[in-house]
Amino acid sequence: MHEMSIAMAVVNQVEEAAGAAGASEVTAVRLQVGELAGVVPDALAFCFELACAGTVLEGAALTTESVPGRARCRSCPGDWSVGMPPALCCPGCGTATDVELLSGRELQILSVTWEEDPAREPGPAHRSPRSAEPCAEWST
């Protein structure tokens, strides 16, 4: 189950960013997951909860946003939804020799919401709660 290694990588990335910002608690993490990334969202959610235990992310809500797989043929106009399993032959000309995958393999952190440590002196970059916009991306 590679979802556990993905969940652990997300937790590590978020912990690092939250620590650098002086966060005392992470309340939410939003991920973008392509339908062709080979990730089962329910399994990822289960693993994420386990990976968060004992960290500043413990109890954080995980939201995953699915990105449909889309492709285009460089020889024909338009693009199409590839679905699962992926249909990578061009519906226009029937070939797969000049097909480009446009989306569906994404796996990235879109945002993180945290509460900052009230004991830390606030500065111009320290507001609470705070959302960090994209901070990591993985290829599958």
pTM of the full predicted structure? 0.78
| 8-state DSSP, 15 | H
| Statement: residue 21 has pLDDT above 60 | yes
φ, ψ of residue 48 in degrees (nearest 5): -60, -45
| Statement: residue 1 has pLDDT above 80 | no
What is the average pLDDT across 21-44? 95
**Cα angle 114-119-120, degrees, rounded to a multiple of 5:** 70
| Statement: residue 18 has pLDDT above 90 | yes
Say what the pLDDT of residue 120 is: 64
Long-range contact set of residues 128-132: C-beta below 8 Å, sequence gap at least 24: 129/27, 130/21, 130/23, 132/17, 132/21
Strands 70-73 and 79-81: antiparallel
In this predicted structure, which of 65-69, 74-78, 110-114, 119-123 has the lowest mean pLDDT? 119-123
